[in-house]
């Protein structure tokens, strides 16, 4: 049986080729109902309490044998620290943004400078709680990943996604101003978390499903600024959606690892990424991890390893209803 270890993940993030099959990892959200039951820690409390967040983040290692831990479990912390209104969610649903003081109408008004300062943002209880959870996890012999939202995602929470999409067509400069306003905040958070974690995963914004072509190059530079602020850890770029036409821009960022939704065409993604960046993922989260059997999960893991993925992982956040048996199949896919 081949064991999962932090050292082999570090070696691969450093650029070494895996010895044998690549290790399984969880860099995306890991809060599932079965793992909550295993430790008696549940959402929504685990999204707002450092000790509970750390304990739930440890369950993939304790119960399933992964050598990784990941925080947080939602994409709402930065938006709340900026001033958005949050619904805390329930046991089977993550916190989500319900509105903000800046959604007064359906238009995207020019940026007015009325957001919290970086110091105010970093001292918000939700951000402080995440650093405290990272401190707890840093004392474990695990490869710890912390996620940061992109400034674009924060802007979509602040302005409302529909308003923002309409703004891209009516007043792109105003949308750019709002997005750019949050770059220093995300840089500060990424830098702070990099002093505590082994890896910072940036939820990026280079999917062509939503982002218009006229904005792509600008967002690449924002991502570059965030990556440059990370001094003490590895870096991973995660992008949901279709990125087949933006692979060269993503590769130009020089992150240590890239996580993409590739299951629409694994072969095409691997071919386009070859020689440009190291690719993590290969396992579809909804079709396979949530809805199929452990044997199907293992088959998909083996196929991803054969294609050349550097780390085998879910290609997006793990659905809360995912069964332990399927996650164990991912963790143990190398076992004979």
Residue 149: in which H helix or E strand, if any?
strand 143-149
CA dihedral sign, ordered 242, 247, 252, 256: positive
| Contact assessment for residue 128 and residue 72, using Cβ atoms and an 8 Å cutoff | no
3-state secondary structure of 163: helix
Tell me the angle at which helices 125-137 and 183-194 cross, rounded to the nearest 10 degrees.
30
3-state secondary structure of 70: strand
Distance CA 185, CA 279 (A): 28
CA dihedral sign, ordered 211, 214, 220, 226: negative
Per-residue pLDDT, averaged over 107-127, amounts to 92
Q: What is the CATH number of domain 6-331?
A: 3.20.20.210
**Weakest-pLDDT range from 141-145, 237-241, 261-265:** 261-265
pLDDT at 109: 80
pLDDT at 2: 67
3-state secondary structure of 93: strand
Residue percentage of the chain with pLDDT more than 70:
99
Per-residue pLDDT, averaged over 136-152, amounts to 96
CA dihedral sign, ordered 48, 318, 304, 333: positive
Q: What is the pLDDT of residues 171-187, one digit of tens each?
A: 899 999 999 999 999 99
Q: What is the pLDDT of residues 320-329, one digit of tens each?
A: 999 999 999 9
CB-based contacts of 221: which residues, under 8 Å, 6+ apart? Answer: none
Put residue 28 in one of left, alpha, beta given phi > 0 → left and psi -120 to 50 → alpha: beta
pTM of the model: 0.95
3-state secondary structure of 146: strand
pLDDT at residue 105 above 80?
A: no
How far is residue 242 from each of residues 37, 150, 170, 319, measured CA to CA in Å? 34, 17, 24, 20
The domain ranges of the chain are 6-331
Distance CA 1, CA 204 (A): 36
pLDDT at residue 336 above 70?
A: no
Per-residue pLDDT, averaged over 37-50, amounts to 97
| Contact assessment for residue 292 and residue 326, using Cβ atoms and an 8 Å cutoff | yes
- What is the DSSP-derived secondary structure letter of residue 287? I
Which has the closest alpha carbon to 76: 60, 57, 100? 100
pLDDT at 212: 87
Distance CA 115, CA 181 (A): 8
Q: Mean pLDDT, the chain, as a whole number? A: 94
How far is residue 330 from each of residues 134, 189, 251, 327, measured CA to CA in Å? 25, 31, 27, 5
Q: What is the pLDDT of residues 51-95, one digit of tens each?
A: 999 999 999 999 999 999 999 999 999 999 999 999 999 999 999
| Contact assessment for residue 261 and residue 241, using Cβ atoms and an 8 Å cutoff | yes
Which has the closest alpha carbon to 143: 12, 276, 1, 269? 12
pLDDT at residue 1 above 70?
A: no
pLDDT at residue 256 above 80?
A: yes
């Amino acid at each position: 049986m081949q064991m999962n270890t932090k050292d082999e993940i570090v070696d691969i993030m450093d650029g070494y080729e895996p010895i044998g099959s690549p290790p399984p990892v969880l860099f995306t959200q890991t809060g599932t109902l079965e793992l909550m039951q295993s430790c008696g820690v549940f959402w929504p409390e685990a999204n707002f309490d450092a000790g509970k967040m750390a304990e739930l983040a440890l369950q993939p290692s304790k119960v399933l044998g992964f050598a990784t831990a990941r925080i947080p479990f939602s994409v709402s912390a930065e938006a709340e620290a900026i001033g958005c209104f949050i619904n805390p969610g329930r046991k089977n649903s993550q916190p989500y943004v319900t509105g903000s003081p800046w959604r007064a109408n359906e238009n995207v008004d020019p940026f007015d400078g009325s957001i919290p300062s970086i110091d105010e943002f970093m001292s918000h209880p939700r951000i402080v709680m995440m650093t405290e959870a990272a401190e707890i996890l840093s004392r474990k012999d695990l490869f710890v990943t912390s996620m940061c939202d992109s400034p674009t995602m924060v802007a979509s929470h602040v302005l409302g996604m529909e308003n923002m999409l309409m703004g891209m067509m009516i007043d792109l400069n105003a949308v750019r101003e709002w997005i750019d306003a949050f770059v220093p905040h995300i840089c500060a958070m990424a830098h702070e978390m990099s002093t505590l974690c082994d890896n910072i995963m940036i939820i990026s914004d280079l999917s062509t499903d939503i982002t218009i072509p006229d904005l792509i190059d600008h967002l690449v530079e924002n991502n570059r600024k965030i990556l440059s602020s990370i001094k003490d850890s590895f870096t991973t770029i995660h992008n949901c959606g279709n990125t087949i036409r933006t692979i060269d821009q993503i590769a130009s960022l020089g992150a240590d690892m890239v996580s993409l939704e590739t299951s629409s065409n694994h072969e095409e993604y691997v071919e386009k990424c070859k020689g440009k960046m190291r690719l993590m993922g290969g396992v579809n989260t909804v079709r396979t991890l949530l809805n199929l059997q452990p044997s199907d999960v293992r088959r998909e893991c083996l196929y991803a390893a054969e294609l050349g993925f550097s780390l085998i992982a879910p290609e997006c956040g793990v659905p809360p209803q995912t069964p332990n048996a399927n996650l164990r199949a991912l963790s143990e896919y190398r076992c004979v």
